[in-house]
């Protein structure tokens, strides 16, 4: 490459340009780190970030204080004496009208609702999405459109018919009933998610499998499923947070002894009897928010992808 470098440099130095080479601006334009633009930019972002973080901070510090300290005032001040008493009490002793065994009951109820709901809703929706993407038949798009429009209908409109239906098959008020409800109302968004994903896979793959003689289920389990793992994770994130955070279905379709955590939390905090124990309330609130928060912080970008997929196209 010897003569190339000579070529590149040979041209230099036969005109006015050469005089400026030593002195003029060169390379990157120097910038101050603390330019007005950067101060404005990062200043705004940091102030906004503090506003968003504030409630989390307040929850944590309040839950670590004893009641005397809470009553003394300032909710923003860090605890002078850290105590885990409120957490223990929220988990095991807090009262909700009838019983006083804390949020743990609601937690385990939620877990018992969550696991089957997530599994069943994802299983049903992934098969529907796969059928829609690859095995369209007359009317399949119409049903799908109804399903998607259904996602925008306020749940309140469909609550009572669902109550009647569940009562008819004898599962109203039970965890099974709630699992069915979560599966039904998770259908639109999950089906959409899976349909779009399967539709984005190369059609040739599906065609080749059909020529090889694979049937509906063989293609689903052998070819589609292994390729769809990321979208299953996205669907799981979506469903875990959605079902865990649900309040309306929990309060409508279950009885007090099987109330999910959110309903129980609301009953503990907003119960009118007894002295208000704010530190216990905040510990309970944090405990309830812990599951979706952990999912959120662990999943990171996938969570964003999930809500973007769910929201933009919903």
**Positions in 152-171 near another protein (CB under 8 A):** 152-162, 164-165
Per CB under 8 A, contacts with another protein among 237-256 are: 241, 244-248, 251-252
Long-range CB contact pairs, 282-286, < 8 A, 24+: 282/58, 282/59, 282/60, 282/62, 282/63, 282/86, 283/63, 283/86, 283/87, 283/89, 283/90, 283/91, 284/90, 284/94, 284/103, 285/59, 285/63, 286/59, 286/60, 286/63
Segment contacting another protein by CB under 8 A, of 3-11, 98-106, 196-204, 228-236: 3-11
Query: What span, in angstroms and rounded, lies between the C-alpha atoms of 197 and 238?
Result: 15
CA–CA dist 227, 223 (Å, integer): 7
- Applying the rule CB under 8 A, the residues between 72 and 91 that interact with another protein are 73-76
Site string for another protein, 169-188 (x = CB under 8 A): ---------------x--x-
Among 96, 109, 117, 128, binds another protein (CB under 8 A): 128
**Options 70, 113, 175, 189; binder of another protein; rule CB under 8 A:** 70
Question: Is 44 one of the binding residues for another protein (CB under 8 A)?
Answer: yes
Contacts with another protein: how many residues (CB under 8 A)?
Answer: 108
Question: Per CB under 8 A, does 39 bind another protein?
Answer: no
Tokens of 262: 């959110």
Other CB atoms within 10 A of residue 173 CB: 18
Query: Is 21 an interacting residue with respect to another protein (CB under 8 A)?
Result: yes
**x/- site string to another protein, residues 46 to 65, per CB under 8 A?**
--xx-xxxxxx-xx--x---
Distance CA 158, CA 121 (A): 18
Q: Do residues 222 and 237 touch, judged by C-beta distance below 8 A?
A: no
- CA nearest neighbour of 63 among 270, 277, 235: 277
Provide the total of helices (H) and of strands (E) in the chain, helices listed first. Answer: 17, 0
Binding to another protein (CB under 8 A): which residues in 269-298? 269-270, 278, 281-282, 285, 288-289, 292-293, 295-297
Using the rule CB under 8 A, give the single segment among 81-89, 171-179, 228-236, 262-270 that binds another protein: 262-270
Rounded Cα distance, 122 and 182, in Å: 11
According to CB under 8 A, which one of 91, 144, 198, 259 is a site residue for another protein?
Answer: 144
- State the residue for tokens 């877990």: 111
Q: How far is the CB of 266 from another protein (least distance, A)?
A: 5
Beta carbon nearer to another protein, 128 or 239:
128
Residues 203-232 that bind another protein (CB under 8 A): 215-217
Q: At what angle do helices 85-92 and 36-63 cross, to 10 degrees?
A: 70
Shortest distance, position 226 Cβ to another protein, whole Å = 19
């Amino acid at each position: 490459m010897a003569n190339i470098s000579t070529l590149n440099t040979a041209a230099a130095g036969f005109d006015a340009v050469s005089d400026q080479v030593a002195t003029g601006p060169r390379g990157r334009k120097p910038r101050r780190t603390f330019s007005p633009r950067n101060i404005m930019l990062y200043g705004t972002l940091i102030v906004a970030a503090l506003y968003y973080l504030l409630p989390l901070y307040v929850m944590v510090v309040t839950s670590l204080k004893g009641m005397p300290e809470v009553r003394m005032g300032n909710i923003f001040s860090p605890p002078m004496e850290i105590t885990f008493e409120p957490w223990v009490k929220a988990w095991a002793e807090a009262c909700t009208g009838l019983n006083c065994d804390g949020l743990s009951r609601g937690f385990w109820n939620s877990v018992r609702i969550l696991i089957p709901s997530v599994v069943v809703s994802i299983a049903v929706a992934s098969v529907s999405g796969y059928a829609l993407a690859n095995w369209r038949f007359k009317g399949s798009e119409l049903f799908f459109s109804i399903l998607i429009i259904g996602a925008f209908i306020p749940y309140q409109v469909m609550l009572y018919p669902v109550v009647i239906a569940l009562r008819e098959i004898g599962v109203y008020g039970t965890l099974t009933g709630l699992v069915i409800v979560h599966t039904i109302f998770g259908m639109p968004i999950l089906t959409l998610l899976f349909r779009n994903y399967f539709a984005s896979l190369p059609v040739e793959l599906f065609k080749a499998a059909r020529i090889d003689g694979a049937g509906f289920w063989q293609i689903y389990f052998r070819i589609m499923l292994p390729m769809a793992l990321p979208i299953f994770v996205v669907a799981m994130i979506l469903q875990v947070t959605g079902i865990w955070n649900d309040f309306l279905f929990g309060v409508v379709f279950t009885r007090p002894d099987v109330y999910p955590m959110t309903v129980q939390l609301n009953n503990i905090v907003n119960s009118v009897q007894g002295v208000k124990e704010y530190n216990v309330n905040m510990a309970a609130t944090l405990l309830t928010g812990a599951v979706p928060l952990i999912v959120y912080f662990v999943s990171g970008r996938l969570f964003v992808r999930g809500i973007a997929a769910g929201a933009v196209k919903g």
